[in-house]
Amino acid sequence: MINRTTITIHTRERTVVRPLSDASLVQCRECQSEVVAVTAECAAQMLQVSSLAIRELINGGLLHATPIRFGACLICGQSLLNFSAHENERGLSENS
């Protein structure tokens, strides 16, 4: 006779939604539409990467940036979503 063990795991997830204080509406040249954009610092926090990584993603064309003043720029929210979704899909396929 074979002994079987059943393990049940219960998990909970909490999503906190709050307004972005650093968000602005801008015209993204890449998307050719008006989008919500955030500062590079806010984008770095969202993606949990460094400011240097954000700059590299912009230079690589993976994130869209709209220059504002003094060398600063706003990051297109749509490109952030697209990049994040692509990274999630890539992570799932690598784990399979």
What CATH number does the domain containing 74 carry? 1.10.1660
pLDDT (tens digit per residue) in 2-17? 888 888 888 887 766 6
Amino acid at 93: S
Kindly indicate the confidence band of residue 59, based on its pLDDT and cuts at 50, 70 and 90.
very high
Count of structural domains, the chain: 1
* Residues of the domain holding 49: 24-95
Neighbouring C-beta atoms of residue 31, cutoff 10 Å:
14
pLDDT (tens digit per residue) in 15-55? 666 666 778 899 999 999 999 999 999 999 988 899 999 99
